[in-house]
Structure 1
Amino acid sequence: MESSLYETYLAQLGIGGAHPGGFGFTKQFLEQERLHPHTELLDAGCGTGQTASYIASQYGCKVTVIDHNETMLEKATQRFSRDGLSIHSVQGDVQQLPFEQHSFDFVITESVLIFTSVPQSIKELYRVLKPNGALILLEMTAESPSIGKKLDEFKSFYNIEHIPTEQEWLKLLIDAGFTKSEVRGGESVASALAKATAPSQSIEPMDLNPSKTLHPQLEHIQQKHQLLTMTHAQEIGYRLYRAEKKV
């Protein structure tokens, strides 16, 4: 899986909760799940480990994480060590998971699959889930099927092949074998930004763990990311998808 400039930016600054909705949204949707110490959970594309650390400490789950980015995984394992958590960390590709089928009760992935071959990744997540297991996807979503070439520069910068609409995401889940898939929340980037900048909204502090040596174009990459986000805020959003594997 080829890294994008954006992934370099996230990894070198060690940004946690960079996914749409932020870490606050993650905590909200986890409250709706029945997680407990016997739950075997996979965080696929764990980044710097913010979500995995929270799940292990808050719910006591048996957590495994995987990420293909060496820098991300190093910072995740540093976090787990600092927090005194026993979390199994694996470097690998979500498109070819190095786990046996039926390994996990619950799989979570936050803003990861959009940067991969989505159909292949969803099939892999289905394979490693146990019967009656659940999958949570928090993923970038096109607000309209008619946006077309307007997003060519956006997709090129983030190294994305295609941005599915809500209905396309749901169909991909069903096509992979999930018997039930639904949307549990989400909105456009424009709507999320408006809420985040509202006077009554408290600002969530950034979770950072910067590398000692940074990419020489890091500031440029950050500026480009912010520009593209603002330019396409009406056309791009995020959704929380939940799917179940009934066998």
Structure 2
Amino acid sequence: MNHSYQDALAFLGIEGAHPGGFELTKQLLKNEKIDQSTKILDAGCGTGQTSQFLAQHFLCQVFALDNHPEMVKHANQRFQQANIPSNVYMNSIEDLPFTNNYFDFIMAESTTAFTNIQQSLCEYYRVLKPGGTLLSIDMTAETELNLNQKKEIMKFYNLTNVLTQSEWLKAFKKEGFKNLKILKSNTVLEELKNSSAVDNLILPLNESLEQIIEEHYRLVLTCGNSLGYRVFRANKE
């Protein structure tokens, strides 16, 4: 069976796979005004780590969504063990199963870049309430990648594109987002030494999954100065 990078993260139950990991997530959220009345979408929730933190720390209403069945399984198990109300959806963020103007806040951690980016941003904007906030951590090309590098990265991570910072900002603006801010930026290579992405493996590696993780780190070491991430914060008007 051929597995994808997303499969490897899901079957191994890897948490905080985005650069900066869960510590970055907590740092970002402590600066936001979130309380019991806040309705939040965790878009691309993975194992549900961030959703659990939001529900327990802020006592807000959290909706967790992912399109991978194994990730949804992990999230449901996590919420049951923590006795957290289960609002977990298996769905693509390109076609969110929510009505317009539904959420006060959307958290998207290393997920939008793995979709049709413009369609996902359109959906975020649609389901946010006026004045609502999007906080998104996304893979970003630090420079214009050469053609071979870009093809290799897109093929391995199953991407439709690898956007530069200026291209990301243009995409947000196209959907109508305002007050665009870049809260943090760094190269992937610089963040690697602080990564906790492989600290919590639920399943032992099999040969196929091990090869995928090895290839991931090879790409990071090879292209890590050309690839980075940005933390974008934006509002719906």
The residue correspondences of 1:1-247 to structure 2 (distance < 5 A) are 5-193=4-192, 196=194, 206-210=199-203, 216-246=207-237
Name the aligned partner's letter for residue 209 of structure 1. Answer: I
TM-score normalised by structure 1 residue count: 0.90
TM-score normalised by structure 2 residue count: 0.94
- Deviation, 1:153, is 1.1
Q: 1:205 to 1:70 in 2, by over 3 A?
A: closer
Contact 1:12 1:215 in 2 (8 A): no
Contact 1:41 1:107 in 2 (8 A): yes
Name stretches of at least 5 consecutive residues in structure 2 with no aligned partner: none
**Matched residues in 1 for 2:197 and 2:111: separation?**
22
Name the aligned partner's letter for residue 82 of structure 1. Answer: Q
Q: 1:208 to 1:215 in 2, by over 3 A?
A: closer
Contact 1:170 1:182 in 2 (8 A): no
Q: Runs of 4+ in structure 1 displaced over 4 angstroms?
A: none
Name stretches of at least 5 consecutive residues in structure 1 with no aligned partner: 198-202
**Matched residues in 2 for 1:32 and 1:225: separation?**
32
Considering only aligned residues, what root-mean-square deviation do their CA atoms show, in Å?
1.9
- Deviation, 1:38, is 0.6
Percent of aligned pairs with the same amino acid:
38
Secondary structure of 2:74 counterpart:
helix
**Matched residues in 1 for 2:200 and 2:52: separation?**
13
**Matched residues in 2 for 1:215 and 1:190: separation?**
26
**Matched residues in 2 for 1:169 and 1:4: separation?**
28
Secondary structure of 2:162 counterpart:
coil
Contact 1:100 1:128 in 2 (8 A): yes
Q: 1:232 to 1:205 in 2, by over 3 A?
A: closer
**Matched residues in 2 for 1:31 and 1:70: separation?**
30
**Matched residues in 1 for 2:87 and 2:184: separation?**
30
- Deviation, 1:216, is 4.6
Secondary structure of 2:53 counterpart:
helix
Count of aligned positions = 236
